[in-house]
Amino acid sequence: MAKKTFLLSLFLLFTGSLIFNLEVFAENHHFDGKSPSYSNCDGSVETKRSSYLKGPDNTNIGIVELRFSNACKTAWARITMFNPIAWPWKANAFVTRNTDGKKFSCESAGGNGEVINGQTFCFTPMVYDLDPRTSYASGMYYLPNSGAVFQTRTDSY
């Protein structure tokens, strides 16, 4: 009887520690982190959400879009500045999946790099975004090393 109790105690201790030590990991899907253009997901794209980016004088200087591929069921962010960026200012976009917090920027592999001098737009890699998953896009216009940052964010889709 003591041996059975001991074994049962060990079993409960082991399985209990498994239950309480579970970690939540980010989802990994085939298209996560892939370029929308190289994956041909941008062929069936719609802008699902957008938000204007306000500049230093509170006028609209750009737009941040949450793009969605009906074919791939993916989302990504794109920022488009209304005028080319002047050095040393920069702009960047981000896509964030709400269910697990997975986030990519234009600088992530699969994106096309942040917006720099003379450029007007950039896009992020994709996240899988099929319901019940949702994502949002955000963007910023900033002066590096100065603290000057102007930001916006879309609603989720």
Q: Specify the pLDDT at position 10.
A: 39
pLDDT band for position 26 (cuts 50, 70, 90): low
Compute the distance between CA of residue 124 and CA of residue 93 in angstroms, rounded to an integer: 7
Q: Specify the pLDDT at position 38.
A: 85
Mean pLDDT of 141-152: 94
The reply to whether the predicted model has a pTM over 0.85 is: no
89-145 pLDDT, tens digit per residue, is 999 999 999 999 999 999 999 999 999 999 999 999 999 999 999 999 999 999 999
Residue 132 falls in which region: left (phi positive, over 0), alpha (psi -120 to 50) or beta: alpha
Q: Specify the pLDDT at position 71.
A: 93
Q: Specify the pLDDT at position 93.
A: 98
Q: Specify the pLDDT at position 117.
A: 97
Residue 66 falls in which region: left (phi positive, over 0), alpha (psi -120 to 50) or beta: beta
Q: Is the pLDDT of residue 12 over 60?
A: no
pLDDT band for position 50 (cuts 50, 70, 90): very high
Q: Are 52 and 79 in contact (CB under 8 A)?
A: no
